[in-house]
Protein backbone atom coordinates (compact mmCIF):
# COMPACT_ATOMS: atom_id res chain seq x y z
CA UNK A 1 0.00 0.00 0.00
CA UNK A 2 1.56 3.14 -1.31
CA UNK A 3 2.15 6.63 -0.07
CA UNK A 4 -1.10 8.14 1.19
CA UNK A 5 -2.41 11.33 -0.30
CA UNK A 6 -5.47 13.04 1.18
CA UNK A 7 -7.78 11.45 -1.39
CA UNK A 8 -6.54 7.86 -1.07
CA UNK A 9 -9.05 7.03 1.64
CA UNK A 10 -12.01 8.17 -0.39
CA UNK A 11 -10.64 6.34 -3.36
CA UNK A 12 -10.10 2.99 -1.68
CA UNK A 13 -13.31 3.36 0.25
CA UNK A 14 -15.18 3.31 -3.03
CA UNK A 15 -13.44 0.12 -4.10
CA UNK A 16 -10.93 1.71 -6.45
CA UNK A 17 -7.24 1.05 -6.52
CA UNK A 18 -4.68 3.78 -6.11
CA UNK A 19 -2.56 3.81 -9.24
CA UNK A 20 0.16 5.94 -10.76
CA UNK A 21 -2.08 7.40 -13.49
CA UNK A 22 -4.76 8.29 -10.96
CA UNK A 23 -2.25 9.99 -8.71
CA UNK A 24 -0.78 11.89 -11.64
CA UNK A 25 -4.18 13.09 -12.84
CA UNK A 26 -5.23 14.25 -9.39
CA UNK A 27 -1.92 16.00 -8.97
CA UNK A 28 -2.40 17.95 -12.19
CA UNK A 29 -5.90 18.94 -11.14
CA UNK A 30 -4.81 20.02 -7.69
CA UNK A 31 -1.96 22.17 -8.96
CA UNK A 32 -3.99 24.34 -11.31
CA UNK A 33 -6.67 26.96 -10.98
CA UNK A 34 -7.72 26.52 -14.61
CA UNK A 35 -10.60 24.56 -16.04
CA UNK A 36 -8.82 21.76 -17.85
CA UNK A 37 -10.19 19.53 -20.58
CA UNK A 38 -9.42 15.83 -20.74
CA UNK A 39 -6.79 16.55 -23.36
CA UNK A 40 -5.22 19.35 -21.30
CA UNK A 41 -4.88 16.90 -18.45
CA UNK A 42 -3.53 14.22 -20.75
CA UNK A 43 -0.85 16.57 -22.08
CA UNK A 44 0.14 17.74 -18.60
CA UNK A 45 0.32 14.21 -17.25
CA UNK A 46 2.15 13.08 -20.36
CA UNK A 47 5.15 15.29 -19.59
CA UNK A 48 5.96 13.39 -16.45
CA UNK A 49 4.53 10.00 -17.41
CA UNK A 50 4.59 9.56 -21.19
CA UNK A 51 3.13 6.08 -20.90
CA UNK A 52 -0.24 7.23 -19.59
CA UNK A 53 -2.87 7.16 -22.28
CA UNK A 54 -5.79 9.44 -23.04
CA UNK A 55 -8.23 6.61 -22.45
CA UNK A 56 -7.09 6.29 -18.88
CA UNK A 57 -7.51 10.01 -18.40
CA UNK A 58 -11.13 9.79 -19.53
CA UNK A 59 -11.78 6.78 -17.37
CA UNK A 60 -10.22 8.35 -14.31
CA UNK A 61 -12.14 11.58 -14.78
CA UNK A 62 -15.38 9.60 -14.92
CA UNK A 63 -14.58 7.98 -11.61
CA UNK A 64 -13.53 11.23 -10.00
CA UNK A 65 -16.78 12.87 -11.03
CA UNK A 66 -18.80 9.92 -9.80
CA UNK A 67 -17.24 9.97 -6.34
CA UNK A 68 -17.53 13.74 -6.14
CA UNK A 69 -13.83 14.64 -6.06
CA UNK A 70 -14.11 16.78 -9.17
CA UNK A 71 -16.81 18.66 -11.06
CA UNK A 72 -17.48 18.45 -14.77
CA UNK A 73 -18.59 21.53 -16.68
CA UNK A 74 -19.71 22.40 -20.16
CA UNK A 75 -18.73 25.91 -21.12
CA UNK A 76 -20.00 25.57 -24.65
CA UNK A 77 -16.73 24.95 -26.47
CA UNK A 78 -17.46 21.35 -27.31
CA UNK A 79 -15.34 19.69 -24.68
CA UNK A 80 -15.92 18.88 -21.06
CA UNK A 81 -13.87 20.75 -18.47
CA UNK A 82 -12.97 19.68 -14.99
CA UNK A 83 -12.03 21.15 -11.68
CA UNK A 84 -11.36 19.88 -8.21
CA UNK A 85 -14.39 19.98 -5.91
CA UNK A 86 -13.89 22.77 -3.42
CA UNK A 87 -14.44 20.79 -0.26
CA UNK A 88 -11.54 18.46 -1.05
CA UNK A 89 -8.70 20.92 -0.65
CA UNK A 90 -8.44 24.56 0.30
CA UNK A 91 -10.64 25.61 -2.62
CA UNK A 92 -13.51 28.04 -2.17
CA UNK A 93 -16.97 27.40 -3.52
CA UNK A 94 -17.51 29.59 -6.55
CA UNK A 95 -19.59 29.99 -9.66
CA UNK A 96 -18.59 30.93 -13.19
CA UNK A 97 -18.77 33.94 -15.43
CA UNK A 98 -18.18 33.02 -19.06
CA UNK A 99 -17.23 35.24 -21.97
CA UNK A 100 -19.20 33.98 -24.96
CA UNK A 101 -16.74 35.51 -27.39
CA UNK A 102 -13.26 34.54 -26.20
CA UNK A 103 -14.26 31.75 -23.82
CA UNK A 104 -12.58 33.25 -20.79
CA UNK A 105 -13.88 31.88 -17.52
CA UNK A 106 -13.88 33.88 -14.31
CA UNK A 107 -14.45 32.12 -11.03
CA UNK A 108 -16.35 34.46 -8.76
CA UNK A 109 -17.08 34.16 -5.09
CA UNK A 110 -18.93 37.45 -4.73
CA UNK A 111 -22.52 37.10 -3.53
CA UNK A 112 -21.94 33.42 -2.90
CA UNK A 113 -23.52 33.78 0.51
CA UNK A 114 -26.63 35.42 -0.89
CA UNK A 115 -26.75 32.79 -3.59
CA UNK A 116 -26.35 30.05 -1.03
CA UNK A 117 -29.24 31.34 1.01
CA UNK A 118 -31.53 31.35 -2.01
CA UNK A 119 -30.29 27.94 -3.16
CA UNK A 120 -31.20 26.49 0.23
CA UNK A 121 -34.70 27.90 -0.07
CA UNK A 122 -35.22 26.74 -3.63
CA UNK A 123 -33.74 23.30 -3.07
CA UNK A 124 -36.01 22.76 -0.11
CA UNK A 125 -39.09 23.88 -2.01
CA UNK A 126 -38.29 21.92 -5.13
CA UNK A 127 -37.43 18.70 -3.38
CA UNK A 128 -40.71 18.83 -1.52
CA UNK A 129 -42.87 19.76 -4.52
CA UNK A 130 -41.31 17.37 -7.02
CA UNK A 131 -40.11 14.76 -4.58
CA UNK A 132 -36.57 15.11 -5.89
CA UNK A 133 -33.43 14.29 -3.96
CA UNK A 134 -31.33 17.28 -4.97
CA UNK A 135 -27.60 16.72 -5.03
CA UNK A 136 -26.21 19.76 -6.73
CA UNK A 137 -26.73 23.00 -8.57
CA UNK A 138 -25.24 24.92 -11.42
CA UNK A 139 -25.19 28.68 -11.62
CA UNK A 140 -23.37 30.58 -14.28
CA UNK A 141 -23.54 33.88 -16.06
CA UNK A 142 -22.49 34.55 -19.62
CA UNK A 143 -21.73 37.72 -21.51
CA UNK A 144 -18.80 39.67 -22.90
CA UNK A 145 -15.62 40.26 -20.93
CA UNK A 146 -13.88 43.60 -20.67
CA UNK A 147 -11.67 42.89 -23.66
CA UNK A 148 -14.47 41.58 -25.90
CA UNK A 149 -17.34 43.93 -25.11
Nearest by Cα to 11 from 49, 47, 60 = 60
The neighbour count for residue 32, using CB atoms within 10 Å, is 14
> Which one among 14, 31, 102, 118 touches a copy of itself, defined by CB under 8 A?
118
Q: Establish if 40 lies at the interface with a copy of itself (CB under 8 A).
A: no
Instruction: Find the binding residues for a copy of itself in span 47-86 (CB under 8 A).
Output: 72, 74, 76
* Choice between 31 and 142, CB closer to a copy of itself: 142
Task: Quote the distance between the C-alpha of residue 102 and its chain's center.
Answer: 21
> Which one among 48, 100, 102, 113 touches a copy of itself, defined by CB under 8 A?
100
**Orientation of helix 20-30 relative to helix 38-48, angle to 10°:** 110
Q: Establish if 146 lies at the interface with a copy of itself (CB under 8 A).
A: yes
Amino acid sequence: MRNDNWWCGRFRGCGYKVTVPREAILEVLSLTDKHLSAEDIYLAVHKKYPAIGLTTVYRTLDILVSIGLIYKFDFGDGRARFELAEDSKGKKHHHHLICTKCGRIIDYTDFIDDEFELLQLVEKGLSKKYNFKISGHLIQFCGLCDKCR
